[in-house]
A and B are shown apart, each in its own frame.
Chain A
Amino acid sequence: MSTATVEDLTEVAAPEPFWSRPRKLGTALILLGVVAAGVFGSLAPGEDARFTLSENAEGAALSIHGPFGAVLFGVLTVIAGGVMVAGLLKRRSNLLLVLGILTFVLSFLCWQVAGHFMPLVDTTEGTLQLALPLILGALAGVLGERSGVVNVAIEGQFLMGAFAGALVGTMATSVWAGLISAAVGGVLIAGILAVLSIRYLVDQTVVGMVLNLFALGITGFLYERLMQPDAQTYNQPPQLPEWRIPGLADIPVVGPVLFEANLLVWLALGLVLAIHFGLTRTRWGLRTRAVGEHPTAADTVGIRVRGLRYLNVLLGGVVAGIGGAYFTLVATGSFTKNMTAGAGFIALAALIFGRFTPFGAFGAALFFGFAQKLAFFLSAIESPLPSQFLNMLPYLATLVAVAGLVGRVRGPAASGQPYIKS
């Protein structure tokens, strides 16, 4: 004996298990691709699938023979999966995953759109619009979670924001007053969440759920008693205007989506960037993350843990409240009972699927927005596929994410734990 040295031993690292994460995901992609090529390819009607740049069937379009496209993209999915299983391009495995899912979706579209047409601008615009509240809601969640407070009350903040926006917007006949009140509505719910969970140490998930029910109850009650009898005085808010930026708006596809839009689009995109850089590059962000990961450590260098948590939860309330304004000041012209219909929970799903980061949440929200838009589109072309399947997607995706299939989702370490000074 006595020959083993440190150097020898360090090389005895644990062998990587054969079924690594890329291998599992790659196998799943191969299966998906086979389904796409086989099932979608054989079911697709033998006509062209047209993706048009204009609003109707005419004009410039990308078109592809339906069955050919379905098989082609299915095969590409299989290839992406194969590369992952073979262990090639290990550093790019997330990119391969995205490519695999994208080609699978395209194969699906070739099947469904064959014999019809899909207007690209409308689809993109619809995706972004439907994703707007999800982006804002998920960002509100990011603000809370990263400082250690779980916010499952996004749904309640949406409802309160939507209601307050409609009510004040109508009474003041000003969309801006409505927008500000929506933010105040969100802050109201956030404030109760903050006080109960930070000051009184109540379980944050339970408080969040109770607040959702509270918001549903109170807005429903006021809607029936106040808004319904006299909608003209209380429930006809002005709508957010669309602004057009000359020049930029003429760019094909991107122009009409991004530069002929309402304020919320720019606000949401701006907030994604602001919160990302705020969290990673500023003193506020460093302290917020420290408080969310290891509050005692933050306390011992003189950071006010509770104060920072209050600040971030309330900021989250502002963002989620504005997200709620989308429902009454942009999407529809009035408030109705439970009009958010679970959007707050999809925002929560986007937050988790996006791994508690602003960019991740943004991507997930867009993905879920696309699923919703696709569901509308499919029912419009009278596809035999029930649109409910697509509406399930956010929840399914969250299950997949939470189960750890898309890499370990590691939230902030102290998330959900009240800070008690000892």
Chain B
Amino acid sequence: MAERRLALQRPPGSITELREIPLKLELRGITKRFGDLVANDHIDITVEPGEVHALLGENGAGKSTLMNQLYGLLQPDEGQIVVNGEPLVFKSPRDAISAGIGMVHQHFMLVPVFTVAENIALGAEETRGGPLGWLDRRRSRRDVIDTSKKYGLPVDPDALIEDLPVGAQQRVEIVKALTREVDLLILDEPTAVLTPQETEELLTVMRSLTDMGKSIVFITHKLKEVKAIADRITVVRRGKIVGTASPDTSEDELAALMVGRAVSLEVQKGPAEPGDPILKIDGLVVDDDRGVRAVDGVDLEARAGEVLGIAGVQGNGQTELVEAVMGLRAARAGAVRLDGADLVGLSTKKILGSGVGYVPEDRSHDGVVKEFSVAENLILDMYDRAPFGNPIRIDGSKVGSNATERIEQFDIRCQSPATPVGTLSGGNQQKVVVAREMSRPLRLFIASQPTRGVDVGSIEFIHNRIIHERDQGTAVLVVSSELDEVVGLADRIAVMYRGRILAIVSPDTPREEIGLLMAGITGATAEGEK
């Protein structure tokens, strides 16, 4: 595989400044401990020049820790980093960069108020001398344009980062690494924030980079992408390498390797039996924090025994829509009715009390109180009523027995009910939230990004619970920027773009079509609305 790419690495006449020796990287016995936790346990990986090496593993498996050591942000406790046969020690990212290693982080490392050129120059500024280093902005701009042309990654050197869409910001990050003439690029969960089309584009870019002899370490937990792009796959679980695989390995096998047991990736569900409409949203208009219109006249209807999925790239008004329904954000106009009764203007507490369960999108911020115990978090919205207490005191034994029961029922992995929620893994924190919200009789269940930052095993579990809730006759509203999740769960999919519902489609609709809708393009084929 690697040999094939090497043969391809110099298309005639395209690249002239290629380094003579392509970069071959070996990690030998890398071990990193944080207290008792062994984040990386004797990891051995070899990345050949010109290959895409996928590092597959769940959240918290130790992928990012490993890459942070390779990029000089952390130092390994044991083991060696060997570049082209030479063992090296990286004390800071500067050392890694000069050894030819670059990294694009999951959360972009770009200063929002700087221009593209300033961000790319930062740390490796072109100067005209002087005690403070007088910046040579013209040369910085030219470097950006040159690199951008050379690799076919269009970026505007003068645009401010905060004005750019996420996909463009990612291109800036890649150009930033490439201007430093790196030969190995680490991409940490690069597709998490992209639309399906942007993901396609990124994969094409990755291909052309490897064709030019660069190698790529691709960190992800998305099996489809791994199979589409990787030359070699290393699977990490709980800090250890549990196997290597070729791209021909089936998704189920990869998932089983990643999780440690067989998991089903498809959501198992029977056909929906939709009943009466429960939630009716009419002409809802909501502004975001800056006072800009975020939801611009949305009409939606969620019926009993049905999952209504809302697909869309993040930031198209989904957050504000859900917050308005929950009474967390004021609606500028329109009505939200639950079984015919208007919810607009009611407090969130009243709305929850009228039979609405809510899983917020930002779990650590809005879903749990990290310092509180599992038991306390399980009754966060019910502490003042029977059976857990009254407005004056809380009945500790009831809270405890409730916790024991829910922990069992929802398979929450924790040492004890008294463990602070903040110490649990993302998946288990989310199970706490889901368990709490499902422990009341519900008419409507709203889940925003229900499996963000959740491991594959827990995703399966949470999805099954959501379907179970649907089959009880609850109306379910699922908002997710992961198209796979929406398609898997929903019985009807509403695609949201710039504050509007562009179309309501069936989950059998081809993905490309939904992807185009998410990008705001409605073709003649997208039918089904009205």
Contacts and interface: CB of A to CB of B under 8 A. Distances in A.
Interface residues of A, number: 34
Contact of B121 (A281, A286, A297): A286
B132 A285 contact: yes
A65 interface: no
Interface in A384-407: none
Nearest to B137: A281
Given A293-B112, A301-B122, A286 B135 contact: yes
A298 interface: yes
A94 to B, nearest CB: 19
B122 A12 contact: no
A301 B502 contact: no
Given A282-B133, A283-B127, A297 B111 contact: yes
Contacts of A244: none
Interface stretch (A2-10, A202-210, A369-377): A2-10
Nearest to B522: A2
A297 B112 CA distance: 10
A290 B114 contact: yes
Nearest to A7: B520
A266 interface: no
A285 B130 CA distance: 13
Given A285-B132, A296-B109, A14 B292 contact: yes
Contact of B97 (A5, A10, A282, A302): A302
B176 to A, nearest CB: 8
A290 B111 contact: yes
Contacts of A278: 132
B410 to A, nearest CB: 30
B138 interface: no
A282 B135 contact: yes
Nearest to B105: A300
A300 B109 contact: yes
Contact of B110 (A15, A282, A294): A294
Given A6-B521, A293-B113, A303 B123 contact: yes
A299 B122 CA distance: 10
A52 B109 CA distance: 58
Nearest to A291: B111
B523 interface: yes
A17 B127 contact: no
Interface of B: 71, 73, 92-94, 97, 103, 105, 108-114, 118-119, 121-125, 127, 130, 132-135, 176, 287, 291-293, 296, 497-498, 500, 502-503, 519-524, 526-527, 529-530
Top-5 shortest CB links A-B: A301-B123, A283-B133, A302-B94, A14-B293, A297-B109
Given A6-B519, A287-B123, 12 more contacts: A6-B520, A12-B498, A14-B291, A17-B291, A286-B122, A296-B109, A297-B109, A301-B109, A301-B124, A301-B176, A303-B122, A421-B73
Interface of A: 1-6, 9-10, 12, 14-15, 17, 278, 281-287, 289-290, 293-294, 296-303, 413, 421
